[in-house]
A and B are shown apart, each in its own frame.
Chain A
């Protein structure tokens, strides 16, 4: 099976500091892949490289849509990366606070629609049609995520858990191949985390691949098909949840070295 996303030797330097050191990683079609590691391991930096917010120092980012040609993502601008089929959420929620819930999702349709200035002014048939499709699709996504009863609320007025879901809804509206979730369960209560678990499975079942950064080990272990562990910008282990649970390098990175063994 060919991986849909392949990362080869990704390196990112900030001045003299190497934040990512020859990172290799892959995501297979329809898999939920988790990326874990202690704080400061470089997980979010990796996401930023992947989505074009940072330009990696070296390495290859290859995206292969099912049945399509492989494309290089390295060096593309963030909006082009999104167009290629990578959509993300942010660790600290970055919604458009003074826009309504529906508008937030409608923004996600931007890269899949085409209306230009003249279309906007004259509102020809195609533009009206496109606008109707944007609204209909956005509402259907919101219904699926249980946000349909608050579409006209300002995003800033939503409760925390709903804001997290709205971020996912907005990312889904871009029709991604891979959904990148940066700590989606951060700050959620156990009930909300369980709902998130179900939601991520539902999204996967629709054929999307998911790459998530997460600290909630229970969630990671129950969801993931494959786990990559990072520390100090390097990959220190990868495997199934069972393999990771017993991997000595992972235990060392998280809990420190056993004094008696040393």
Chain B
């Protein structure tokens, strides 16, 4: 159980947090009236809260260690992780899946247009997360410039529509292909790099694309961007704003299902296995006869494709693109989704994308503290579940008798 020492530690942690949050939570300066309000009650809340949180986490740790010890001594069976128990038991996950499907299908009918719009954004990040998951989660190539491919897709639609009048459905595959091409273009120079070095180069690539879009006025209209991009059409039917948002919502649902289908099949194929092997050990992977160059390039290309297509949808959704939408922060959020979800796990990435995009929206009740809460959730998550929401699950095979 909790010892006296733990209470002492909890006090230290509480004090530390009180000092740390002092400027943010206690002092409030009103520059107009030139008065400072001291909100000491906030400090008490922080202190009590962090004291209790520390004790709770400590109790959990002690409980876990005790269980691990019992498992080691053979007094207790090792339990399968909860996520695995859910995902491998059809009688649990089928009803969950059905409920989820029903919820998402009925969503635009149940909630306001505003909510639907937020959900569309969240679904876009689901696809972006699944795309980046191929590169980072599966093939293990740390890509910090993923947003560049997103920008390529968005500008592909904006420019092709502006100059050639091409419609949404024509540009959707073109955007994907164009992003894949850029993926290969980025892939070639970084073939020999890995880890931190790869991260830096991809970060640079993302910035280069953004800066080109910002400064090449004749090509991209610079920081003012391109407006009046048409929304996706449906056999030429005129739609009101509400209708077109509902339409875009279902389009996005279709896109998500398509992505899950394709990504899942890719991961469980010869190529997917080669990606996983590349992540695990590059030298052994080559020695087993896998072409490193080709495997890396397909990962970059097939990862970028999804960003390109979502880029096209993004341009159609907002009817306006400018370089400010494609900053490094976007890449970082998408990377967060992949890491939080669990490297290489499709279900994990979907959950993480929904949580990470919807959470800040519904935390608006906490107004100015919402990013603080958001950050705290990320930190807590990484401390207690560094492997992500859904840890590595591999396909199992059975030996057939006879």
Contact = CB atoms under 8 A, between A and B. Distances in A.
Interface of A: 51-53, 77-79, 82-83, 87-88, 90, 94-100, 102-103, 106-113, 115-117, 119-121, 123, 127, 130-131, 134-135, 139, 143, 148, 151-152, 154, 170-171, 174
Given A100-B396, A135-B397, A174 B289 contact: yes
Question: Top 5 closest A-B pairs, CB basis?
Answer: A111-B289, A120-B269, A82-B289, A96-B280, A94-B284
17 contacts: A77-B286, A79-B291, A83-B289, A90-B284, A95-B284, A96-B276, A97-B281, A107-B285, A108-B289, A111-B289, A117-B271, A120-B265, A121-B262, A131-B269, A131-B270, A152-B394, A174-B289
B394 A154 contact: yes
A99 B280 contact: yes
Given A79-B286, A97-B280, A107 B274 contact: yes
B399 A107 contact: no
A110 B289 contact: yes
B142 interface: no
Contacts, number: 118
Interface in B110-124: none
B283 interface: yes
A99 B276 contact: yes
Given A108-B289, A139-B399, A99 B277 contact: yes
Contacts of A109: 270
Contacts of B399: 139, 143, 148, 151
Contact of B265 (A77, A103, A123): A123
Indicate the member of B262, B272, B276, B287 with the most A CB atoms within 10 Å. B287
Indicate the member of B262, B270, B271, B286 with the most A CB atoms within 10 Å. B270
B304 to A, nearest CB: 14
B273 A108 contact: no
Given A96-B277, A106-B273, A107-B277, A117 B286 contact: no
Contacts of B269: 115, 119-120, 127, 131
Nearest to A100: B394
Interface string B356-384: 00000000000000000000000000000
A79 B284 contact: no
A151 B289 contact: no
B266 interface: yes
B288 interface: yes
A117 B266 contact: yes
Nearest to B298: A117
A135 B400 CA distance: 11
A111 to B, nearest CB: 3
Given A78-B287, A151-B397, A152-B396, 10 more contacts: A78-B286, A88-B287, A99-B276, A100-B394, A110-B289, A115-B271, A117-B266, A127-B269, A151-B399, A174-B289
Nearest to A105: B288
B58 interface: no
A110 B265 contact: no
A87 B290 CA distance: 12
A99 B393 CA distance: 9
A113 B290 CA distance: 11
Contacts of A151: 397, 399
Given A95-B281, A97-B280, A152-B396, A115 B287 contact: no
Interface in B227-282: 262, 265-266, 269-274, 276-277, 280-281
Contacts of A174: 288-289
Indicate the member of B262, B290, B392 with the most A CB atoms within 10 Å. B290
B302 interface: yes
B67 interface: no
Interface string B280-321: 110111111111100000100010000000000000000000
Contacts of B291: 77, 79
A244 B284 CA distance: 33
B277 A79 contact: no
A79 B269 CA distance: 19
Contacts of B396: 100, 152
